[in-house]
Amino acid sequence: MSRVGNSPIAIPEGVNVDIKPNELVVSGKLGSLTQDYDGVSVSLTDNNLIVARNSESKDHKSKHGLYRALFSNMVTGVSTGFTKELELVGVGYRASNTGQKLDIALGFSHNIVLELPSEVKVETVSEKGKNPIIKLSSYDKQLVGMVAAKIRSFRKPEPYKGKGVRFVGEQIRRKAGKSA
């Protein structure tokens, strides 16, 4: 029995849900998202979105919780949005943005210039004495997570000094260096 799939999704004020055969369209003040689905049936009752599986097969059981979570993320995204914050830890690591171009200096011989999708809003914060922070925000949870993972992949945090790109609040397992 899917515990995630059985709970209804509350639709907040200002969010429109359009249920089509095998497609769900959710639109709100921040944007509009579309998701294809199969193996489940979707219904809207009393401002609650209810996801039910079509049969008790293993495939439909596994998709029940998945689609309910995806639909919940869509509703949350178009109403409030999602943010990810990345921290650059290291001497000389810098970040700046002009529009949708993110310019990052991570200790390589050249700066990394990344063109971000138009759905993702980027903001860089650089204060003296503190590590630079990159703030990514979007209504699409999958997209903002993929962009954050791409930025983190340029220089993952290493376990000895902790230098690299990490999520704000992320704990890095540290290792002891050479013992003399």
Q: What is the average pLDDT value for the chain, to the nearest integer?
A: 93
- Tens of pLDDT, residue by residue over 144-174, are 999 999 999 999 999 999 999 999 999 999 9
Confidence of residue 140 (pLDDT cuts 50, 70, 90): very high
| C-alpha to C-alpha distance for 85 and 96, rounded to whole angstroms | 14
**pLDDT tens sequence across 103-134:** 999 999 999 999 999 999 999 999 999 999 99
Read off the pTM.
0.89
| The predicted structure's pLDDT at residue 3 | 81
> Does the structure show a pLDDT above 60 at 97?
yes
Closest CA to 173 of 91, 162, 156: 162
Q: How many CB atoms lie within 10 A of CB 78?
A: 23
Please answer whether residues 85 and 167 qualify as being in contact, where contact means their C-beta atoms are separated by less than 8 angstroms.
yes
DSSP string, 104-147: EE-SSSS-EEEEPPTT-EEEEE--TTS--EEEEEES-HHHHHHH
pLDDT band at 179 (very low <50, low <70, confident <90, very high): confident
Cβ–Cβ under 8 Å, residues 146 and 86? no
For the domain 82-167, what is the CATH code? 3.90.930.12
DSSP 176: -
Parts of the chain belonging to CATH 3.90.930.12: 3-79, 82-167
Q: Which CATH architecture has domain 3-79?
A: Alpha-Beta Complex (3.90)
